[in-house]
Structure 1
Amino acid sequence: MSDGLDVIIVDDDPDVCELISTTIERFYAWGKVLSFTDPEEATYYCLGRDIGVAIFVVDVFLGGSSGFYFLDTIEEKFPTAHSDAIIVTGNASDDVVNMCIASDVNHLIEKPVRPYALQLAVRAIAEKYLKFAKRLFNDPEFAKNIANF
């Protein structure tokens, strides 16, 4: 079990998966960086976790499946999976953009992945959790209300 906000990478291309993982590990300090080339293995791992919050970096096409299907599969365990996802694609066509919009995915990166684009997208998602944690820590009344919710 992780004590932080993990980044889970799912891409069926081992080279791309390693590149994304290495890039994120260079700057990410708020949790573990985990990568999977097998979507079924990633699904099994995610559904077995205790904590249902993570940042996802997912390829649009995962062999015979899609990254959107992967996010749908884990959504019960990770209710914010879609909004906490970065979709990676070789071609950001209108169809891919429309799928992102329809699926509540706000981050889309085209291959070849530019490190700064990946860093900004990951940090944008992490920042919302960092701000929330800071507010919980600094505002006992807010924390009490959340605890009673």
Structure 2
Amino acid sequence: MDVIIVDDDPAVCDLISTIVKRFYTWGEVIPFSDTEEALKYCKGRDIGVAIFIVDVFLGGVSGFYFLDEVEERFPTAHSDAIIITGNASDDIVNMCIASDVNHLLEKPVKPYALQLAVRAIAEKYLKFAKRLFQDPDFAKNVSGI
């Protein structure tokens, strides 16, 4: 499962990418400071899952708009997203809640907070995969859905 980082500030995007690359081993870390390039990349991928780390303000669009736009290819984009912002106001918190985003971090991002948020998202998939391998009855029930 890849981590896709979108922040229109190249320095912040590089910093977050560097932090994530230090601990993340379950997929690639793919940073974008150009929102259009990130949208093109995401829309060109097969349907799947990824962890998204997205700035709340991306130049002319919002991070929530970005997640809406990639949802066709990544159906769990909102619940697998970490929104980052310079100021976590009540409005931004309410937008996260309304958009099914459960992780919000303020800049400057603390590396441990970012690691815990990424691990929380990755862990749900790792636990699910482990259960599929260890419990044949559960796997059979899931394959019938």
State the TM-score bracket (shorter-chain normalisation): over 0.9
Aligned to 1:77: 73
Alignment of 1:32 onto 2:15: no
State the match for 1:106 in structure 2: 102
Superposed displacement of residue 88, structure 1: 0.3
Work out the number of aligned pairs and report it: 145
CA distance in 2, matches of 1:25, 1:54: 15
After superposition, where does 1:105-124 map in structure 2 within 5 Å? 105-124=101-120
Are 2:129 and 1:133 aligned? yes
Structure 2 unaligned spans of 5+ = none
Q: Does 1:18 align with 2:14?
A: yes
Identical residues among aligned pairs (%): 79
Is residue 8 of structure 1 aligned with residue 8 of structure 2?
Answer: no
In 2, distance between residues paired with 1:42 and 1:133?
A: 28
Q: How far does residue 105 in structure 1 lie from its aligned partner after superposition?
A: 0.3
Q: Distance in 2 between matches of 1:61 and 1:112?
A: 15
Aligned residue in 1 for 2:63: 67
Which residue number in structure 1 is paired with residue 90 of structure 2? 94
Rounded to whole Å, the distance in 2 between the matches of 1:9 and 1:140 is 36
Q: SS of the residue aligned with 1:57?
A: strand
- CA apart distance, 1:51: 4.1
In structure 1, C-alpha distance between the alignment counterparts of 2:102 and 2:125, rounded to whole Å: 16
Distance 2:90 2:58 in 1: 19
Shift of the alpha carbon at 1:39? 1.1
Structure 1 gap segments, 5+ residues each: none
Q: Give TM-score, length-normalised by structure 2.
A: 0.98
Partner of 1:57: 53
1:146 aligns with 2:142: yes
